[in-house]
Amino acid sequence: MYKKNIFQKKLVSTTADNGLLERPQFSFRLHISLVFIFFSLFSMAIIVGSVIAINRIQKKLHFVQASERYLFEIEQARRSEKNYFLYGTNLENAVQNASNAKSILSQNLQKIVTVLSAEQTETIVVHLDRYRSLLQELMVLEKNGIDSSAKKSKIENSLRKYGAEMVKVAAALVDKEQDSMNAMLHLIQRIPIYSLVVVLLIGLFVARFLVQRLIKPLKYLVECTHRIATGDFSPIKPIRKYRDEFTTVEVAINRMLEQLKSHEAAMVESHKLRAVGTLTAGVAHELNNPLNNIMLTAHTMLEDYKDLSEDELLEMVNDLINEADRSRSIVRNLLDFARESESISEPLDLGALVNDTIKLALNQVKVSGAKIETQIQPDLPRTRGDGQQLKQVFLNLILNALVTFKSSGIVTKPLKSQC
């Protein structure tokens, strides 16, 4: 069955199709699919982008928070350190804070490396460790009760140095991270607006394209059908550079036009044949009368020629001839009508034409029992026209009128001139 389909498709393609079908195919469906895919991808991109962005912000937030905690711990450590040097207390607090800071630092070491360079990170670690070891030294001194102000002030200087450095770096880190996060938030805020604008623009653009794709070919099709309705059966020609679903319609219409063209000729012929057929039956019946007359006359002559006078015989021979002539004119009327001739426009005596047509349909008239009354204006001017076609029109009028006719009426055919 598969083979048969291909075969059929091949058979059916014609030269009119070729123009339409030779173009590259860009179907409507494809176009819409592309648009749809584009928008889907676009939305997905936005969604994925948003998800990623939010994820990143989350991470950033955590990091900022960690950095702030680190800074806090460091600052607390310094405060405790200052308190110790002022009041001799909070050394353990300082150590604790520093230890907290160390743990925070350790936990976020990898992240810090991504923000600051490896060296800088190394520096922070080193500083913090130094700071801590200095605090440890103090702790040891305290524990052992050594009260050496020279050592203490040395340590204090170092502490101060490293401490300030650490705070500075930590604060800078925090600031940097906060800035970075703000920037990210800004970006994320702007993206929806940008995408909205982009979508609107592209949407308008695409919509306009699509509409063109629909409206233009539809208009073209409507034009074509108008032209076809006026009787022009020439095929639809391609006007776009690609083909799509509308092409299928156009190809189908072209095929239909071919059929119509070949049927038109057949229909015109069949109409005429039908009229000829109807008339022929009538003519055959009408001929029976002159034939009968000939039959009777000839038989009478055959049987009685010895007894008939010359005059009588002569009369009969003349009858034979007259009846034969009569038959001829009955038949000729039909033949003339049926003969196909080129359409010629000539000046016509319409009155005579009408009467001729009525003669043609005489049998039908008699059979239906109708009476035809003609009112023909006496001085009707000659009109230009095609006698054959007019006769056919008149004939159809008469035959149709007779069909819907009851046997006791009158069909009047007034013929007046009209300006």
The DSSP secondary structure of 140-203, one letter per residue, reads HHHHHT---HHHHHHHHHHHHHHHHHHHHHHHHHHHHHHHHHHHHHHHHHHHHHHHHHHHHHHH
- Based on CB atoms, which residue is closest to other proteins, 74 or 283? 283
Whichever of 163 and 282 has its CB closer to other proteins, that residue is: 282
Q: How far is the CB of 405 from other proteins (least distance, A)?
A: 15
Q: How far apart are CA 102 and CA 118, in angstroms?
A: 17
| AA identity, residue 257 | L
Residue 353, class by beta-carbon neighbours within 10 Å (0-12 exposed, 13-18 middle, 19+ buried)?
middle
Rounded to the nearest whole angstrom, what is the least distance from the CB of residue 30 to other proteins in the complex?
A: 49
Q: Say how many C-beta atoms besides its own lie within 10 A of residue 250's C-beta.
A: 25
Give the whole-angstrom CA distance, residue 89 versus residue 70: 22
Q: How far is CA 190 from CA 48, 90, 187, 411, in A?
A: 16, 49, 5, 88
User: In this structure, how many other beta carbons lie within 10 angstroms of the beta carbon of residue 86?
Assistant: 9
190 or 366: whose CB is closer to other proteins? 366
Amino acid, res. 307: D
Nearer to other proteins by Cβ, of 122 and 304: the residue is 304
State which amino acid sits at residue 226: H
**Based on CB atoms, which residue is closest to other proteins, 26 or 405?**
405
Q: Are 327 and 353 in contact (CB under 8 A)?
A: no
CA 182 from centre of chain: 47
Residues 17 and 251: beta-carbon distance below 8 Å: yes
Per DSSP, the residues of 16-55 read HHHHHHTSPB--HHHHHHHHHHHHHHHHHHHHHHHHHHHH
In the chain the first and final C-alpha atoms are separated, in Å, by 66
Point out which residues bind other proteins (CB under 8 A).
269, 272-273, 276-277, 280, 285-289, 291-297, 299-300, 303-304, 319, 323, 334-335, 338-341, 363, 366-367, 369
Q: How far is the CB of 338 from other proteins (least distance, A)?
A: 5
Q: Which is nearer to other proteins, 80 or 327 (CB)?
A: 327
Cβ of residue 256: shortest distance to other proteins, in angstroms?
27
Cα 191 from Cα 52, distance rounded (Å)? 13
Supply the minimum distance, in Å, between the C-beta of residue 413 and other proteins.
18
Minimum Å gap between C-beta 244 and other proteins is: 45
CB nearer other proteins, residue 192 or residue 277: 277
**Shortest distance (Å) from residue 264 CB to other proteins:** 16
Comparison of 251 and 362: residue with beta carbon closer to other proteins? 362
Nearer to other proteins, 224 or 279 (CB): 279
| Longest CA–CA separation in the chain, Å | 189
Q: Which helix (H) or strand (E) holds 350?
A: helix 350-360
Query: What minimum distance in Å lies between the beta carbon of 266 and other proteins?
Result: 12
Closest CA to 18 of 227, 243, 245: 243
Kindly state the smallest distance separating residue 341's Cβ from other proteins, in Å.
Answer: 7
User: Whole-number minimum distance, CB 367 to other proteins, in Å?
Assistant: 7
Cβ closest to other proteins, residue 404 vs residue 408: 408
